[in-house]
Structure 1
Amino acid sequence: MKSLTRQILSCFLLFIGSYYANSQVKKIGLPEIRNYKQTDYNGGTQNWNIDQDANGNLYFANNNGLFQFDGSGWNNYTFPFPTVVRDVKVDKSGKIFVSGYQEFGYFLANSKGKLVYHSLAKFLLNKNKVNDIIWKIHIYNGEVIFQGFEKAYVYKNNKIKIINPFSRFQFSFQVENKIYFQDIAKGLIEYNEGKLHILDDTRTLNSTEVWGMFALPENKLLISTLDKGLFIYSNNKLTAWNTDANTFIKKNSGLGGVAINKKNIALNSVLNGIIICDQEGKIIQHINQKKGLQNNTILTSYVDNKKNLWLGLDNGIAFINENSPFSYFGSTYGLSSVYASVIFKGNLYVATNQGVFYHAWDIPFKESEFKLVEGTTGQAWNIQVIDEELICSHNRGAMIIEGGKSQKTLDNLGYWIFKKIPNRPNFMIGSNYSGFSLFEKKSNRWEYVSKIKGYTRSVGDFEIDNHSIWVKKDEHIYQFLLDKSLVKFKSIKIHNKLSKTDQGITSIQKIRNSIYFQTNNHFYEYSETKKQFYKDTIVNQLFKNIPKTNTIYEDGIGNIWYVNKESLNVLMKNEEGGYTNTIAPFFNLTQQLVYNKLSINTIDPENIFIGLTDGLIHYNSKSKNEYISKPKAFIRSFSFINDTVQFGNNANNAEKIKIPYKSNNEKFRFSTPTYENIENIKFSYKLSGFDDKWSNWSPTSTKEYTNLREGNYVMKVKAKNSYGIQSDAASVAFTISPPWYRHILAFICYALIIALMVYYTQVRIKAKIRKNKYYEKIEQRRLYLEKESKIRQEQLELEKKIEKLQNEKLKTQILVKDKELVTNSLQVVKKNKILNGIIQKIKDIDTNSFDESTKFQFTKINKSIIKEVNADHSWKDLEKHIKNVHFDFLKRLKDKYPTISPRELDLSTYLLMNMSTKEIAEIMNISTGGVELARYRLRKKLELNKKENLTGFLMSI
């Protein structure tokens, strides 16, 4: 019975999910909402209308002019005078028609891509001059209709035709291929072939303002008013549309809306955001300020070319990603980090870091906050349904939850997860903060038995088979073997590798009801009989071309989810039993997954819940893949010094751009009109002629090059959207002219100048050669004369040297002669001394005894000796000669030492002549002691120290 109930619920959910998948607007959760504040686009607060060009650029009619958004940046364009822009429409030719107070016309790109305004109102005659606000623009059958309150202006073939109301226009609407006006006196009016036709039974709308009209099946019109609600016009009858949508609009005041996919309608309100309803008036989705909008007043809504919704707010702009398989339950639903989710007895339960929360699981999904399960405040790690009991793994224990509160705590330890023991259906094991515990089912209720002995460390996730409990911890795998009583482990074995080639173990997972051990995407099973790991071929082949994974999980319907580099992917199981690798949809969830706590709850292919760090996400895998499309890349502008080439709302120009060399600093801005998950859009660029390879992917949408050389360049840009899909390359070719000094004409001039210089050089060289030969002869003559002069000079110097040598030789000879003279003089002195001695001895001889003859002879000899002594003047001649020879020396010595005495001068001369002390003593007629004393006095007068040689000093003077 329970199984049948589950099958019925699954079929019901599958039907409902398929219905909403086809309708595209999801009922469950909130789509991605992105707000653009006034400061983001630097414009006015109110945005009145929105349109999109063929390239995907969006245009907003704003209080401060026309704003263009290309996905990367905003551009503002204004009327020639400041005024509000009320409406904008882009035609197929690229003209952007705009209207405002007393003005209407169009923007069109000029030759440099800049949007230039062309006024149409100025061509009107004074009597038809626009005096009010032009509220609406319609492009209809080759005509452009500008609708004001007093008149409507039809522009066609460069002519303007005027349509006058019956009394006064209010607003106008284009529904499929028809134009309707509201006349404040006649009700609704249809415009057809230049004429106005009153619609019967619509004058009851004269007391209100019509803000929107939409097509319904069977030629019905849905009419939205400001304060009277919603009406259906069919078969010329106007009736109130008594639905949930009508109740909402009556309560919150309507401001029109937009049709979505011809099956749903977005209705704007003044007080409470926007609702999306089906064609039966049932509200599918309600988005307001509480759920993410920055403002509750929706002035306009628009569906872009990706089926996403844009809102012009009373203050700002909003983007709603309706064309996505994802919707979110975040802070607006009261959720934070989600670790697990499960459906039980009509409720969706979610385990978070703040406790367990629940919400009624019904269709349609009520837009209310999740409620906290009473008694579960704290860290709820897991929530599981085991044998029709809802068990929460909490940091405060294992809890049984019933009726919105915790009814029972099985054990007060912190728990991670519970799993039943194979072949023992009444027992289950729970991993906790200090190992494992055993639980038994008694009287259809789970009861705590005891802690399993033998292991006391904290255990997170684990797998269990018929023989072992397997735990991945650190870099190892622990294999626990229970004994028969189940209350203790009989053995614990640690494995650190799967094979000789596969070291380490990355993860344990159960796939196809078997436990697999994985490292580097190599999968092994364990043989209980052989007690070893062996490779599996099927799963290995499945992951053969998949990047290395760190987490793998098989959901309830056989899909295999895996994480690599914190990015979530899935092998979707198809009807044939094979798998389809699905990557792109989950690119945007990177960095949002709960680290090491993957939470996947698959109810059916249309209802998959994924836990995130900031809530819960709902994924419909059967949703159409319209959101995954190839993006387009554009180079939006090309700037250089004093000029900018813009590309407006047109594609990039194919014509090559020429710029002067002085403007060789270029800046490029690029974009892709992709608005889903805009923060994950990246660009890569390459400047051919400068870059060798494409740049790394980056979210930066500008690139600047400086000091480029002259030449031909092609700037190429690629975009990659948030799903990892790359665009084709957009390109802009340009040429930088060379500077004047590297221009072709400059090189011709250079060639002529070089030729003239060569000719001039040749002439000069020949003249130089002739001149050099002349000067060479002169130089040779000069060198000859210089050489001859040098020889003469050398001869003269040689003669001087010879003369000097001769003088020196002469001096030497003189010194020798002096020495000889001194020696001879000394000998004479000795002789005289001897003779004087003889004379003295003769005087002592008594001559009285001599006879006269003898006495006469004796006297004669004595007189001869005395005469010889007196007649010898050699000593005086010697002194005179010495003074003459050494005159210069004596003069220098006297000049240097003025106090020196004549005797000291004589002594200095004798010392200079290298005479011995004995010789000096004999010459000076003093004792040798007297010579030494004289030497001592002379040294003192010459101020010589004891170590200095007196004779050497005298020779140096």
Structure 2
Amino acid sequence: MMFLQNKLSIYLVLILLCLGVKRINGQEKNSGLPKINNFSKKDYNAGTQNWQIDQDTIGNIYFANNNGLLQFDGNSWQLYKIPNSSNIRSVKYDRTNGRIYVGGYNQFGYFESNLRGKLVFQSLLPLIDGTESKTTDFIWKIHIVNDEVVFQTFHKAYIFKDNEIKTLEAPKRFQFSFLVDNNLYFQDIEYGVFEYVNGVLIHLKGTEVLKNTEIWSILKMPNNALLFALLEKGLYTYQNEVVTPWETEANDFVKKNSTLGGIAILNNSLVFNTVLNGIIICTIDGKIKQHINLDKGLQNNTILSSFIDSNSNLWLGLDNGISHVSINSPFTYLGSSQNLSTVYGTVIYKEYLYVATNQGLFYRLLNNIFSDDSFKLVEGTTAQTWNVQVIGDDLVCANNRGAMLIKNNKVAKVLDNIGYYGFKEIPNRPNFIIGSNYGGFSIFEKTKTGLVYKNKLGDFDKASNIFEHDGNFLWLKRDNILYQMEISEDFKAFNSIKTITKFNDTVNGINSLQRINNEVYFQTNNHFYSYSKGQDRFFEDRKLSNYFKDLATINTLIEDSHGNLWYVFDESLGVLMKNKNRDYTNIIKPFSNLTGNLVPNYLSINTKDNKNIFIGLIDGLAHYDTTVSNKISVPRAVIRSFIYENDTIMQGNPQQSSFNIKIPYKSNNIKFTFSSPEYNREPILYSYKLEPFDQEWSLWTKNAMKEYTNLIENEYEMHVRVKNSYSNVSDPTLFKFRIYPPWYRHYLAYICYSLFIIVSMYFISLWMKLKIRKDKYYETLEHRKRYLEKEARIISEQYKLEKEIEDLNRDKLQTKILAKDKELVSNSLQVVKKNKILNGIIDKLKKLETSDISVETKSQLHSLKKSVLKEINADKSWKDLEKHIKNVHFEFLKRLQEKYENITPRELDLSTYLLINMSTKEIAEVMNISKGGVELARYRLRKKLGLSRKDNLTGFLMNI
């Protein structure tokens, strides 16, 4: 930190800014601490010190950080620099035009959104008139009053209006300035406090006593009084032109720890920042209600600035970090900073709050002063403590080390040294108490001297903290089994023990055992049953069941002292608050932030009154005040940015205009980021739908980002909604954009395509007409060509047919010739046979001539012989046959002789006989040789023709 000039106190090393009065709706509680969320430098990645704070209409929070303007949208942080100065001291959002005014060292101006939604800085230094130096020093405060923006430094103030800057000189030297109910006040280090009215400073009489002091805030008080918060001297009131010390508890604290200003809450509470010890919240009368410092959850004890946001919660700018304090909540918490751990039970006894924890029994005054709010251990109870109860006039602790009687905040007596879970009065026998312990049950009795241990009850050794007595039976639930036990009249034994696993044949399982309206009920699947001893059966209480018919299945239920029914479902808490008409109102949403933080199977609810309900948690105690307004607002969904290619559209900045986003097809990979101005650090869930790409809403997710790739050309609408920890769902936020088609699918391209098609069709039509004429011409030529070819083919086919006929005739003639040859051969062979017969006859006739016959007979025989010889000699049929065969087969013989020049006439004759398919016998007869001679001749012919035995000789000759 740096030293400031002109007699600033050395405390300026620790302080950095104070905020003026600001009225806002909000409420605070006396008991416990509000939930605190801390943001370190690592979280927001900027400077350590955070000065002034403001919020825009969207819900974004802005911090004047020593590294620049810091913006937080509930999901992400953004840091914006200003030229020539990184150290920003003041920030103010203008709701009329969406500008964010900032001031730093030798620089001031405003941020506003450009056409892409990005915040761009515009310096106002060029508007300063004349030749005066542009060295403005630090801009400590910025105020918007009427239609003027006031930038305040130590030496002067710059008034920005109608795009002009006027200078307001300090009477001596300004300290700080403050806006209270649209009245602007300046402190002058020499003359006191001035009010800025119509461009001039009007001195407040009586404030000159404050010269040479450092006022860090001016707050409005009742009866038109003002409250001055001085750095070292504490708190002073100003009324009727008189400054007097504000002698209160708050003033004592502030003087001890030095104040850095403060803020008013709803005119009935005040917040004061300190240098050394965090913040205090006090009443308008100065009584401290809460003290929050480093030991109680803050990151730092030096509070530079404070701010109430639109949800009526408190933001603190620290010397190192940022804190968010949920003061607008019906819940506060008592945890480790008050020495509490896991809480199993609570009770209020003689103005003290006693808390049973896993470390022992702790206590503190119920309405204690802020400086003594930690719990103290009851001496002798250091062990697991399951419960603490008021029995008669006695305070009894159910401890791991026994049943303990507590007096004067210490163990007065150990009634029984076995571990206990809890105690119940026996109906109709109010002087007797039954206790559940690690070994079963025991009986205690109320006496004139107090509660005393009486005896162990029977030998039943099942242990559980869930048990009730209905006047007839002792009921115990352990796991999913219900035990029904009848106690003897002397309370020493069990007359009967019955095990129950279901209420009837249609209902299985037992979820809970509880007492409601002084009657014991058994519950399964949100159906409640009571037991009738006379009929020995369970009956459903339909009226009670109807209260839970639309709720999730509950597993634990207890009735508090006011008749409210508290229940647990899925590790979440709900309550049926009893109305004046004895009906119930179901309340769930306020307890959503307790989900998962309840102690399993040990629901602890202690209702003192509507302002004091204590709920046991695994990390302490929650204090619930039903009278504190807790309007659970509907969250707001913000599309923070829209990213495509190398361009980004920022949606979540003020002064944004509607965007007409047109994206080229090559940039059809897009990305959205989301946010919601919810700052409790509870889970914010997002759901989105890109129409027409998505048909249904997406599942709820914590991921505040969504990417789409390869989107086709179309007009799109991105819908985003959020759900907060109270299950409230926002209205959808809409973002429209259009992806243009690629050039080849653009409407101009389709026009070109259409023109091209029309022109093409025209030229194709012309071309088709030309082609048709040309085709007709070529078709005529083709027809003529085909006609001529057909005519030529007919002539050719006719010629071929004639030739085939000729060949067929020749073949037929040849066949006939062969047949005739065969016939001639056959006839010739018959002639040969006839001639042989005739020659035989001649030989016989010659023999007869030599025989002894008559001359006449011999003459006749001789004449007959001559006739026969004449016939034989006259027959030339064989020669005619040979001649005929040679004539018919002349071409064959010619080819054969040309091919085989050494063939003999005899072999030619044999070849001819074979050609006409004469048999060996016929050939032998014709050639007048034996069959063996024919075979030999055939063999010689084969050799001459070059044929083997396997070759067909006749077939070979036919192929020549």
TM-score, scaled to structure 2: 0.78
- Corresponding residue for 1:57? 60
Q: Is the 8 A contact 2:566 2:573 kept in 1?
A: yes
Shift of 1:26: 1.3
> Which blocks of at least 5 consecutive residues in structure 1 are unaligned?
1-21, 814-912, 916-922, 927-940, 943-957
- Corresponding residue for 2:442? 438
1:150 maps onto 2:155 in alignment: yes
Give the 3 Å change call, closer, same or farther, for CA 749–204 of structure 1 in structure 2: closer
Shift of 1:309: 0.9
Give the 3 Å change call, closer, same or farther, for CA 797–411 of structure 1 in structure 2: farther
- Corresponding residue for 2:935? none
Q: Is the 8 A contact 2:259 2:274 kept in 1?
A: yes
Q: Percent of counterpart pairs with the same letter? A: 49
- Corresponding residue for 2:296? 291
Shift of 1:797: 11
Report 1:237-386 matches (<5 A): 237-364=242-369, 367-386=372-391
1:607 maps onto 2:608 in alignment: no
- The amino acid of 2:590's aligned partner reads P
Give the 3 Å change call, closer, same or farther, for CA 793–243 of structure 1 in structure 2: farther
> Per the alignment, in what secondary structure is the counterpart of residue 585 of structure 2?
strand
Give the 3 Å change call, closer, same or farther, for CA 488–126 of structure 1 in structure 2: same
Give the 3 Å change call, closer, same or farther, for CA 223–740 of structure 1 in structure 2: same
Q: Is the 8 A contact 1:652 1:730 kept in 2?
A: no
Shift of 1:263: 1.8
Q: Is the 8 A contact 1:410 1:448 kept in 2?
A: no
Mean CA deviation greater in 768-777 or 580-589: 768-777
- The amino acid of 1:446's aligned partner reads V
- Corresponding residue for 1:947? none
1:759 maps onto 2:756 in alignment: no
> Per the alignment, in what secondary structure is the counterpart of residue 758 of structure 1?
helix
Measure, in 2, the Cα distance between the counterparts of 1:267 and 1:138: 21
Measure, in 2, the Cα distance between the counterparts of 1:606 and 1:568: 18
Q: Is the 8 A contact 1:145 1:154 kept in 2?
A: yes
Mean CA deviation greater in 731-740 or 96-105: 731-740
Measure, in 2, the Cα distance between the counterparts of 1:534 and 1:239: 72
- Corresponding residue for 2:429? 424
- Corresponding residue for 1:102? 106
Deviations 1:753-796 (Å, cap 9, x if unpaired)?
22233333334444444444555566666767888899999999
- Corresponding residue for 1:670? 674
Measure, in 1, the Cα distance between the counterparts of 2:791 and 2:607: 118
1:635 maps onto 2:619 in alignment: no
Give the 3 Å change call, closer, same or farther, for CA 474–652 of structure 1 in structure 2: farther
- Corresponding residue for 1:35? 38
Report 1:567-578 matches (<5 A): 567-578=572-583
> Per the alignment, in what secondary structure is the counterpart of residue 202 of structure 1?
helix
Measure, in 2, the Cα distance between the counterparts of 1:585 and 1:140: 38
Q: Is the 8 A contact 1:418 1:431 kept in 2?
A: yes
Measure, in 2, the Cα distance between the counterparts of 1:268 and 1:412: 51
Shift of 1:409: 5.3
Report 1:168-567 matches (<5 A): 168-184=173-189, 186-193=190-197, 194-197=200-203, 199-200=205-206, 202-206=208-212, 208-226=213-231, 228-235=232-239, 236-364=241-369, 367-402=372-407, 403-405=409-411, 407-408=413-414, 410-413=416-419, 415-434=420-439, 436-441=440-445, 443=447, 444-447=450-453, 449-453=455-459, 455-486=460-491, 487-498=493-504, 500=506, 502-567=507-572
Shift of 1:338: 1.8
- The amino acid of 2:619's aligned partner reads D
Measure, in 2, the Cα distance between the counterparts of 1:485 and 1:204: 81
Give the 3 Å change call, closer, same or farther, for CA 784–63 of structure 1 in structure 2: same
Mean CA deviation greater in 388-397 or 586-595: 388-397
> Per the alignment, in what secondary structure is the counterpart of residue 678 of structure 1?
coil
Measure, in 2, the Cα distance between the counterparts of 1:91 and 1:474: 62
Give the 3 Å change call, closer, same or farther, for CA 535–712 of structure 1 in structure 2: same
RMSD, aligned CA:
5.5
- The amino acid of 2:530's aligned partner reads E
Shift of 1:101: 0.8
- The amino acid of 1:539's aligned partner reads L
Q: Is the 8 A contact 2:26 2:312 kept in 1?
A: no
Q: Is the 8 A contact 1:411 1:448 kept in 2?
A: no
Measure, in 2, the Cα distance between the counterparts of 1:795 and 1:332: 126
Q: Is the 8 A contact 2:83 2:107 kept in 1?
A: no
Shift of 1:70: 2.1
Structure 1 residue aligned with 2:28, among 18, 25, 28? 25
Measure, in 2, the Cα distance between the counterparts of 1:799 and 1:423: 141
Structure 1 residue aligned with 2:718, among 712, 715, 718? 715
Mean CA deviation greater in 85-94 or 377-386: 377-386
Shift of 1:62: 0.8
Mean CA deviation greater in 633-642 or 607-616: 633-642
Q: Is the 8 A contact 1:399 1:409 kept in 2?
A: yes
Deviations 1:502-548 (Å, cap 9, x if unpaired)?
44433332221222233332322222222222222321332344343
Measure, in 2, the Cα distance between the counterparts of 1:736 and 1:241: 66
Shift of 1:269: 1.5
> Which blocks of at least 5 consecutive residues in structure 2 are unaligned?
1-24, 817-916, 920-928, 933-947, 950-960
Shift of 1:584: 1.8
> Per the alignment, in what secondary structure is the counterpart of residue 247 of structure 1?
helix
> Per the alignment, in what secondary structure is the counterpart of residue 669 of structure 1?
strand
Measure, in 2, the Cα distance between the counterparts of 1:799 and 1:404: 145
- Corresponding residue for 1:891? none
> Per the alignment, in what secondary structure is the counterpart of residue 140 of structure 2?
strand
Give the 3 Å change call, closer, same or farther, for CA 442–557 of structure 1 in structure 2: closer
1:748 maps onto 2:764 in alignment: no
Measure, in 2, the Cα distance between the counterparts of 1:764 and 1:749: 21
> Per the alignment, in what secondary structure is the counterpart of residue 134 of structure 1?
coil
Give the 3 Å change call, closer, same or farther, for CA 157–799 of structure 1 in structure 2: same
Give the 3 Å change call, closer, same or farther, for CA 385–757 of structure 1 in structure 2: same
Mean CA deviation greater in 587-596 or 44-53: 587-596
Shift of 1:586: 0.9
Q: Is the 8 A contact 1:223 1:233 kept in 2?
A: yes
Q: Is the 8 A contact 2:185 2:196 kept in 1?
A: no
Measure, in 2, the Cα distance between the counterparts of 1:378 and 1:777: 119
Give the 3 Å change call, closer, same or farther, for CA 224–218 of structure 1 in structure 2: same
Q: Is the 8 A contact 2:26 2:327 kept in 1?
A: no
Q: Is the 8 A contact 2:345 2:387 kept in 1?
A: yes
Measure, in 1, the Cα distance between the counterparts of 2:803 and 2:510: 106
- The amino acid of 2:416's aligned partner reads L
> Per the alignment, in what secondary structure is the counterpart of residue 650 of structure 1?
coil
Deviations 1:13-37 (Å, cap 9, x if unpaired)?
xxxxxxxxx9822121110101111
Give the 3 Å change call, closer, same or farther, for CA 442–607 of structure 1 in structure 2: closer
- The amino acid of 2:84's aligned partner reads F
Q: Is the 8 A contact 2:219 2:226 kept in 1?
A: yes
Mean CA deviation greater in 778-787 or 157-166: 778-787
- Corresponding residue for 1:69? 72
Shift of 1:368: 4.1
Shift of 1:809: 14
Shift of 1:805: 13
Structure 2 residue aligned with 1:680, among 656, 680, 683? 683
- Corresponding residue for 1:135? 140
Shift of 1:326: 0.4
Report 1:543-942 matches (<5 A): 543-625=548-630, 627-647=631-651, 649-650=653-654, 653=657, 655=658, 657-662=660-665, 663-675=667-679, 677-776=680-779
Give the 3 Å change call, closer, same or farther, for CA 34–775 of structure 1 in structure 2: same
Q: Is the 8 A contact 1:660 1:738 kept in 2?
A: no
Measure, in 1, the Cα distance between the counterparts of 2:698 and 2:769: 60
